[in-house]
Structure 1
Amino acid sequence: MISWEVVEGTLLVARYAPEGNHDEIKKPSPNETRVAAFDLDSTIIDSKSGIVPNGDPDDWKWWQDNVVRKIRDAHLSGHQLIIFTNQGNLTTPTGELGPRLKHFGMNLGIRFYTPEEYFQGIIGQILGHKFNPDWSITPEVEARINKNLTELELFDLSKASHTGHKLTSAGGNVIIVFVGLPGAGKTTFFNIALNFGVIRLNRHDLGTMENCMEKAEHCLEGGFGIVIDDCNLDKSSRATWIDMASRLNVPVLAAEFTTPSDLCLHNDSTGPKGRQIFPRTKFRELEKQLEAPTIEEGFSEIVKVDFEWVGTRTELDIWRRYWI
């Protein structure tokens, strides 16, 4: 008998119990730690016709003749069997599957085997990393977390060497234009390092570009500095703010976020629970539009903002898993 459960609207779980146990299908107890987890397509089963995806429910075969025996052996040795699949959305190739499944296993803390290795005993090529979040965690970050430094202690704006100090040293009336892809850390940087003395403006929050410009001009006329927290990827999108700065006779600075694109995608995937992830196709389109800001555009200064991870040990343990 099979029971079905939808978890938080994003995960469909099927649980199977042999006949005779159908009165109650028990969920695994917390003490059950032996797990044998398998991908479905091209691991346990394959298409008989070779057509994928295929709407025919009978168009399948076991991937290898010994698949059933190996899975039965895992069950008899006390492993709980789990099959993962993404039938609802994964309809086109999304890159090399092996490294992504290896990262999935690493996130769960279980050993990863390729189908050839597990079912056939063939040791294949060791899978490497195209992207590893740990590449962005320096020894200084680890030391800071171990010392439990607060965000304010970390971002001491009194230090002339700090990026936030460079951006706010121009004084009251100033336009700071953020330039960076989604997930580059723009809003996080503002909340930690610039959230004193300048006002954050975002076109999405204000509804239209016209509303954003009207609010910006009102703030500047009142003597406040403003931060334009949007992507501002190309010259044309930045020209609006450069022209406003020229007309109101205020300095305009660019904060260029240098976070690599794969790290941006990773950051975007680890956002608050329930927040919609930025569409990947749209992200790659934006990546092609990115133009580095220049003094020739009319900026008074360009300050590069390199990625620096900030948070607690618990937050880091979640962030450093593989999410893309």
Structure 2
Amino acid sequence: MPPVKRSSEGLIAPPPAKKGDFQSSPPTLIHFTHLDPFAASSSSSSSSGSKKIAVSFYDLDGTLIKPRSGAQFPKSRDDWMWWHPSVPERLKKEHDEGRHLIVISNQGDPREKIRQEWKAKLSLIATKIPKDIPVRILAALSKSDGYRKPNIGMYEVVERIYKERGLEIDLEHSVFVGDAAGRAAKGSQGKDHGDTDYKFALNVGLKFVTPEEHFLGHARPRFPEPPIGFLPSKLGSLASLPHIVPSHTPITRPSLEIVLFVGPPASGKSSFFRKHFPPEGYEHINQDLLGTRDRCLRIAETFLAEGKKVVIDNTNRNRETRAHWIRLAIRLKIPIRVFHFLCPLELAKHNNVYRACYGPTNEPTRTLLPISAFSSYAVAFEKPSIDEGFDEIRGVNFHFEGTDDQRRKWDMYMLEPKR
């Protein structure tokens, strides 16, 4: 039992007991619950008989709470206060209406002390929430995985919990409240730190409002709608382009050869190899796996000496890089062909995040590449030409291949890695 403090007036009550529980979750996700939101759910039945729950989703910092000290970032677990005095009463009102309350937050300070202070703060917040009001809080810790907004990993965790109970989140009547809307600075009000809350809401299919609209009844502020950012749909119908140009000859050949891939990272090169070349006996040469170009050249030459065709799956961005392989082909007196991947650089950056955060389980796990990998490619790129010594050059347009669910995620806004 905690010690009882004394005051000039005698005994006072001990500090309130900690509230809430941390649920089992992956290392890059915090999952905290205060009370059971399913204990007395007020739900409505859809025509199919499933129960739908309206949910008020909230960002945390800058939406429900802010630093008491007035600093940009909190200094300790106690350095917080409600964003506005009306917040607790609004939460109570929504609970009384049968809505569930769920917080979706991006955290990410790698220092363990800071993370432990933040986790300790959740219990303190729970003690200040009006009595008997359940709240679920999820926080993404990594800055480069599927949980981090605007990616929808945290929402998917919640969605699974509801489905396991035979419930469905009522997206039509749910809302996401967040301060990261992409607003520009105005007067004494600084600009938003980003637009991840707005993009997250769009990705999930939720109505989005700012804290000023939700708690204070202000008119909708001005911010880019739709948000600034890349979506594959902005490139038009990629599927309408021919996959291979020219397309009248077979992709593979029966005779010994070198096939050289040219294209930015995340432009579909390795997937193209796995789909077309292994069944025809081609060996895979990749510098990311083998370490150095010299080793790639040695191993490729060994395969060719054994009568095995090879595919060089690297970016091969300029004439100087490609010349090493042309010289090998000339010395061994075998043909060398190029497949040039025509994926736009913005789409390649998008694919980079998609495959790191949502990559199919039947494909190798890919790490998130830094933006510099794409900018350095663009600076050094030289378009391949027949006069370099190639026997053939074919273009490959990017076509997304995957399930409907994978396609839906690929079509979303992705988190934007820092430079």
Per the normalisation by structure 2, the TM-score is 0.60
Partner of 2:315: 231
Which of 187, 203, 208 is 1:112 aligned to? 208
Counterpart contact for 1:3–1:25, Cα < 8 Å: no
Partner of 2:299: 215
Which of 236, 248, 256 is 1:173 aligned to? 256
Matches within 5 A, 1:192-203: 192-197=275-280, 198-203=282-287
Between Structure 1 and Structure 2, how many residues are aligned? Answer: 301
* Structure 1 residue 172 displacement after superposition: 2.0
1:279 paired with 2:299, answer: no
- Residue deviations 1:68-100, cap 9 Å, x none? 3333322222121111222224899x9956643
Cα gap change, 1:247/1:311 in structure 2, threshold over 3 Å: closer, same or farther? same
* Structure 1 residue 187 displacement after superposition: 1.1
Partner of 2:226: 128
Show structure 2 runs of 5+ residues with no match.
1-18, 44-49, 110-140, 144-149, 151-179, 183-192
Matches within 5 A, 1:304-323: 304-323=395-414
CA distance, structure 1, for counterparts of residue 75 and residue 321 of structure 2: 45
CA distance, structure 1, for counterparts of residue 392 and residue 375 of structure 2: 28
Q: Which letter does structure 2 place at the counterpart of 1:176? A: V
1:33 paired with 2:59, answer: no
1:8 paired with 2:26, answer: yes
Where 1:85 maps in the other structure, the secondary structure is strand
Where 1:280 maps in the other structure, the secondary structure is coil
Cα gap change, 1:204/1:300 in structure 2, threshold over 3 Å: closer, same or farther? same
Matches within 5 A, 1:50-65: 50-65=70-85
Counterpart contact for 1:182–1:264, Cα < 8 Å: yes
Moved more, 57-66 or 25-34: 25-34
* Structure 1 residue 13 displacement after superposition: 0.2
CA distance, structure 1, for counterparts of residue 82 and residue 204 of structure 2: 26
Matches within 5 A, 1:249-264: 249-264=333-348
Matches within 5 A, 1:235-250: 235-250=319-334
* Structure 1 residue 282 displacement after superposition: 4.5
Counterpart contact for 1:2–1:15, Cα < 8 Å: yes
Where 2:349 maps in the other structure, the secondary structure is helix
CA distance, structure 1, for counterparts of residue 398 and residue 342 of structure 2: 7
Per the normalisation by structure 1, the TM-score is 0.76
- Residue deviations 1:244-283, cap 9 Å, x none? 1222223323322222233223323231359343233454
CA distance, structure 1, for counterparts of residue 338 and residue 329 of structure 2: 12
Partner of 2:268: 185
1:293 paired with 2:383, answer: yes
Q: Percent same amino acid among aligned pairs?
A: 29
CA distance, structure 2, for counterparts of residue 284 and residue 135 of structure 1: 19
Cα gap change, 1:286/1:74 in structure 2, threshold over 3 Å: closer, same or farther? farther
CA distance, structure 2, for counterparts of residue 298 and residue 178 of structure 1: 15
Cα gap change, 1:124/1:25 in structure 2, threshold over 3 Å: closer, same or farther? closer
Where 2:106 maps in the other structure, the secondary structure is coil
Cα gap change, 1:26/1:264 in structure 2, threshold over 3 Å: closer, same or farther? farther
Cα gap change, 1:101/1:297 in structure 2, threshold over 3 Å: closer, same or farther? farther
CA distance, structure 1, for counterparts of residue 298 and residue 401 of structure 2: 33
CA distance, structure 1, for counterparts of residue 414 and residue 351 of structure 2: 9
Where 2:62 maps in the other structure, the secondary structure is coil
CA distance, structure 1, for counterparts of residue 100 and residue 78 of structure 2: 26
Where 1:239 maps in the other structure, the secondary structure is helix
CA distance, structure 2, for counterparts of residue 88 and residue 189 of structure 1: 35
Show structure 1 runs of 5+ residues with no match.
142-153
Counterpart contact for 2:261–2:313, Cα < 8 Å: yes
- Residue deviations 1:127-147, cap 9 Å, x none? 224212334573957xxxxxx
Q: Which letter does structure 2 place at the counterpart of 1:187? A: S
1:205 paired with 2:296, answer: no
Counterpart contact for 1:233–1:291, Cα < 8 Å: yes
Cα gap change, 1:172/1:12 in structure 2, threshold over 3 Å: closer, same or farther? same
Cα gap change, 1:294/1:42 in structure 2, threshold over 3 Å: closer, same or farther? same
Counterpart contact for 2:349–2:371, Cα < 8 Å: no
* Structure 1 residue 229 displacement after superposition: 1.1
Where 2:393 maps in the other structure, the secondary structure is strand
Where 1:112 maps in the other structure, the secondary structure is strand
- Residue deviations 1:181-227, cap 9 Å, x none? 32211111122234443332223334544442222112223343321
Q: Which letter does structure 1 place at the counterpart of 2:75? A: G
Moved more, 34-43 or 56-65: 56-65
Cα gap change, 1:52/1:253 in structure 2, threshold over 3 Å: closer, same or farther? farther
Give the greater-gyration-radius structure (CA): 2
Q: Which letter does structure 1 place at the counterpart of 2:359? A: G
Cα gap change, 1:174/1:116 in structure 2, threshold over 3 Å: closer, same or farther? farther
Cα gap change, 1:235/1:26 in structure 2, threshold over 3 Å: closer, same or farther? farther
CA distance, structure 1, for counterparts of residue 40 and residue 297 of structure 2: 55
